[in-house]
C-alpha cells in the first residue's frame, strides 16, 4: 500500500540531529517555556515577517487565543468559511464567538471575498481567513474590507506555512496569524504544536497571558482568565532543527507537485490551481466519480483521503447555527468531489509514477 502520509522518510534523514536536540532539552532540566521555544518564536517571527510570535499547544489553541486576545464581547460575530477543518470553527466557538459562513470560490477553494460585505453588521468584529491547502485567499481585497468596516483580520495559516501572496509570506498580513505544526503540516512537529504571530504589542502581551493561566513573569497570580497552552521545549527543539531544512523540504514538495501537474491527464479529473508562490500542504483533485476512484485506487494499493467530506455548517454539532442543505451551494458542491492524493516529502518517484498511471487509466 502506498501510504497517504509517511513522516518516517524525512525523519530518518535528520534522526541523529533530532535525537541530539531532544537530549539537549532533557539534559537542561527545562521542559516548558525555555530557550528552545524563545529561539523558535524569534525564528518564526523573522521568517514570516511579524514582530512577535507566541508558541502555544496547537493550531486550534492558536486560533482560540488569537480571537480571545482582541477582547471581543461574547457572541460577537466572526466571518469565515465552512470549507475548512473543524478546528477553525471549534476555535471560534471556544473563544465565545459566533461563526458566520461565507461561500467559496470553487476554483480556488478560498472564501469568496465578493460575498463578505453583505454579511457584515454591527455585531461583526473579525474575519478569519483560512488559506486552505496552502492557497492564499484574496487577502488584499479582504484587508480593504477590514479597514473600511473596522474589522480585525485573523489568518488561519495552519496549512500555509511557506506560501506567499504578492511576494509576502502568508501570516504577515493579519492582525494576528495562527499556525499549526501538526505532524502532517509543511513545517511539522512530532506531536501537537501551534503559534500565534502579531506585530501589535497589546495583542502580544495578551497572548502571553492567555497561554499560561493569565500569569505574568511565571508568577502564579492570574491577571486575566487564561489557558494551559504552551508549546513545550522538546517540540520547539524539533521544530528548530526542521526549520533549518525547510528550503529543502519545500523544494521537494514543489518537485512532487509539478510531477502531478505535468503528468495527470484524465478528463474525469480536475487538477487544483498551479500558483508559483504556493507551497501546497495537500494535493487535492476533483472528480464527479470520487467514490469509484477511491475504491479503484485502493485496489491498486494507493491510499487517499478526503479533506473534508462534510462542510462544517452541515455537521450535527453546529446545527444550532441554523444553516441548511443548500445554504452554501458551492461549498457543498465541491465537498462531494474533492480527493487528496499522497503528497509528502520522500514520496518516491516510483510510487508517484504508479499513482499517476492509475489516475490516467481510471
- What are the extents of the domains in the chain? 8-102+110-244, 246-360
246-360 CATH pick, 3.30.230.30, 3.90.1150.10, 3.40.640.10, 3.20.20.70: 3.90.1150.10
The pLDDT assigned to 187 comes to: 98
pLDDT of the residue at 219: 87
Looking at domain 8-102+110-244, which CATH architecture does it have?
A: 3-Layer(aba) Sandwich (3.40)
pLDDT value, residue 217: 81
Residue from 44, 23, 89, 32 nearest 195 by CA? 44
pLDDT digits (tens, 9 = 90+) for 18-53: 999 999 999 999 999 999 999 999 999 999 999 999
pTM as predicted? 0.96
* Domain 246-360 in the same topology as domain 8-102+110-244: no
What mean pLDDT, rounded, does the chain reach? 97
**Residue ranges of the chain whose pLDDT lies below 50:** none
pLDDT of residue 218: 78
Residues in Cβ contact with 123 at an 8 Å cutoff, skipping those fewer than 6 apart? 75, 76, 77
Amino acid at each position: 500500500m502506498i501510504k497517504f502520509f509517511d513522516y518516517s522518510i524525512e525523519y530518518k534523514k535528520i534522526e541523529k540531529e533530532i535525537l541530539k536536540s531532544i537530549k539537549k532539552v532533557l539534559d537542561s532540566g527545562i521542559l516548558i517555556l525555555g530557550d528552545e521555544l524563545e529561539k523558535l518564536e524569534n525564528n518564526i517571527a523573522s521568517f514570516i515577517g511579524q514582530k512577535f510570535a507566541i508558541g502555544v499547544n496547537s493550531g486550534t489553541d492558536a486560533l482560540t487565543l488569537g480571537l480571545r486576545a482582541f477582547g471581543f464581547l461574547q457572541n460577537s460575530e466572526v466571518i469565515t468559511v465552512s470549507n475548512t477543518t473543524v478546528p477553525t470553527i471549534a476555535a471560534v466557538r471556544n473563544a465565545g464567538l459566533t461563526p458566520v459562513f461565507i461561500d467559496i470560490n470553487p476554483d480556488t477553494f478560498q472564501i469568496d471575498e465578493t460575498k463578505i460585505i453583505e454579511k457584515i453588521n454591527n455585531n461583526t468584529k473579525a474575519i478569519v481567513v483560512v488559506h486552505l491547502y496552502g492557497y492564499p485567499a484574496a487577502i488584499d481585497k479582504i484587508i480593504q474590507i477590514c479597514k473600511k468596516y473596522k474589522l480585525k483580520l485573523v489568518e488561519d495559516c495552519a496549512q500555509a506555512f511557506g506560501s506567499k501572496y504578492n511576494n509576502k509570506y502568508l501570516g504577515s498580513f493579519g492582525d494576528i496569524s495562527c499556525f499549526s505544526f501538526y505532524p502532517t503540516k509543511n513545517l511539522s512537529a512530532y506531536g501537537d504544536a501551534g503559534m500565534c504571530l502579531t506585530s501589535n504589542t497589546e495583542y502580544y502581551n495578551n497572548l502571553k497571558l492567555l497561554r499560561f493561566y493569565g500569569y505574568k513573569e511565571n508568577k502564579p497570580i492570574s491577571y486575566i482568565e487564561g489557558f494551559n497552552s504552551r508549546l513545550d521545549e522538546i517540540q520547539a527543539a524539533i521544530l528548530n532543527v526542521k526549520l533549518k531544512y525547510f528550503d529543502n523540504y519545500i523544494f521537494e514538495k514543489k518537485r512532487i507537485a509539478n510531477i502531478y501537474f505535468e503528468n495527470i491527464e484524465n478528463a474525469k479529473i480536475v487538477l487544483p490551481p498551479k500558483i508559483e508562490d504556493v507551497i501546497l500542504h495537500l494535493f487535492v483533485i476533483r472528480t464527479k466519480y470520487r467514490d469509484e476512484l477511491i475504491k479503484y485506487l485502493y485496489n491498486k494499493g494507493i491510499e487517499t483521503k478526503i479533506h473534508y467530506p462534510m462542510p462544517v455548517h452541515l455537521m450535527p454539532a453546529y446545527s444550532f447555527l441554523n444553516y441548511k442543505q443548500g445554504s452554501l451551494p458551492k461549498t457543498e458542491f465541491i465537498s462531494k468531489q474533492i480527493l487528496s492524493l499522497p503528497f509528502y516529502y520522500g514520496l518516491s518517484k516510483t510510487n508517484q509514477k504508479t499513482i499517476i498511471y492509475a489516475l490516467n487509466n481510471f
